[in-house]
Amino acid sequence: MTTALIDLASPEYRLRPWDIYRQLRDEHPVYFMPEATWDGEDVYVLSRYEDVGIALKDKARFSSQIQQDNYMNLPMLVNRDAPEHTRLRHSTNRAFNARLVRQLGDWVQGLVDELISELYEHEQVEFVDAYSTALPLRVVGGMLGVPLDRKADLRRWSQAVMNSFAVSAGLDPDSVPGFFEDIVEFSNYMEELAHERRGKPNRGDILGGLVEEHEAGELTRDELVTMAWSFIAAGHETTMNLLGGGIEMLLREPELAAQLREDPSKTAAYIEEYLRLNSPTQWLLRRTITDVELHGVTIPAGGLVHVVLGSANRDPRQFENPDVLDLSRPNVNRHFAFGAGAHFCPGSALSRLLAEATFNSFYPVLDRFSLDPERPAQLRKQQGSYGFSEMWLNVHPERGR
């Protein structure tokens, strides 16, 4: 009996997938997994860069509407194709376009400085909770008009949204109990906030814009609420993993940190290379619209496809020495960490802004922090995500004090 190469529920596949990715690319570029989901659906896995690009960009053969006939068929950007996706994406682009995001720079820098100052108040601090989760939640929560005292709820609701994606991918809903109830709670809360805004002047935040579109008949009530979910996912999840992992790497590799401290202009390259090497979102889902043949394998129409971004971003057919972080890599911007095509992550500009502000602010003070050897950093076990769930730091006094 042949042992399956991939077990979607396996911690090994979630935490240390790189050797599995290599074997998939080299031996099974289209890997068939019969009855792989909790409800017995077949899954096809694409792992090579070229094939992942096709699945992300070819709208004639691959659909993003994964769930169509059950309670998970939610009107979210990630679960819609044109023309619905085009209409919803217009709202997202207005909120997250690069020019508007750049205008947030001073506000974001103030939050970064405030959170770093709070880290100094401790001798030891858990960085994921105190910083890499707190910063994007404050930013996205502020853009949505969510009060700061709901930060814990916002984090729980964000996790519920990510769990909904995992369930759509085939995870047994019983393994993430309460996720749908949390989504309903989030929906009701956003509806309450929106109701308070109706008929009042727009405050200039994302929620105000959504309410205006709802009142103009451009968004339904459900679309307004699920757009808020999309903003949470787009602005928080990837950024949290990028910030935590990026700081962990700087503390673990002092030569890299010294190089960036000496030449901060390389920060943009560092962000892109980190995203490529440790893609915060490891895979996305698609359904085939027609029969699709790749590498001699026919994926039938309606087939569920795991599109493995994390493997594509380490494909030596596209990236030379792909397992090495190279700040001078000429094609560094060709990675798929934010997806590609019509569903390219709308929060990418915001994520890069928060990462650039964070890393540039930490370079001069990195010597005040070190990884706690007694409590090694722990990777997340969330299906499809790659980043740290816990990272304890020792906080040292300022030199000369």
Task: Write down all domains in the chain, each with its CATH number in brackets.
Answer: 11-395 (1.10.630.10)
pLDDT at 199: 81
pLDDT at 74: 59
pLDDT at 1: 34
- C-alpha span between 359 and 126 (Å, rounded): 18
Per the CB < 8 A criterion, the answer to whether 347 and 232 are in contact is no
With 0-12 / 13-18 / 19 or more C-beta atoms within 10 angstroms meaning exposed / middle / buried, residue 283 is: buried
Q: What is the per-residue burial (b if ≥16 Cβ within 10 Å, else e) of 373-399?
A: eeeebebbebbbbbbbbebbbbeeeee
pLDDT at 388: 94
pLDDT at 93: 65
pLDDT at 94: 66
What would you report as the CA-atom Rg of the chain, rounded to the nearest whole angstrom? Answer: 21
- C-alpha span between 349 and 102 (Å, rounded): 8
H or E stretch at 46: strand 43-46
Q: Going residue by residue through the chain (401 aa), what tens digit of pLDDT does each one get?
A: 346 788 777 778 888 899 999 999 999 999 999 988 878 889 999 999 999 999 999 999 999 877 656 555 555 555 565 556 556 666 666 666 666 677 888 999 999 999 999 999 999 999 999 999 999 988 888 888 888 788 778 878 877 877 777 776 666 777 778 888 888 888 888 888 888 888 887 777 777 878 888 888 887 887 777 777 777 766 677 899 999 999 999 999 999 999 999 999 999 999 999 999 999 989 988 999 999 999 999 999 999 999 999 999 999 999 999 999 999 999 999 999 988 876 667 778 889 999 999 999 999 999 999 999 999 999 988 777 889 999 999 999 987 55
Model confidence, pTM: 0.89
- C-alpha span between 226 and 220 (Å, rounded): 10
With 0-12 / 13-18 / 19 or more C-beta atoms within 10 angstroms meaning exposed / middle / buried, residue 363 is: middle
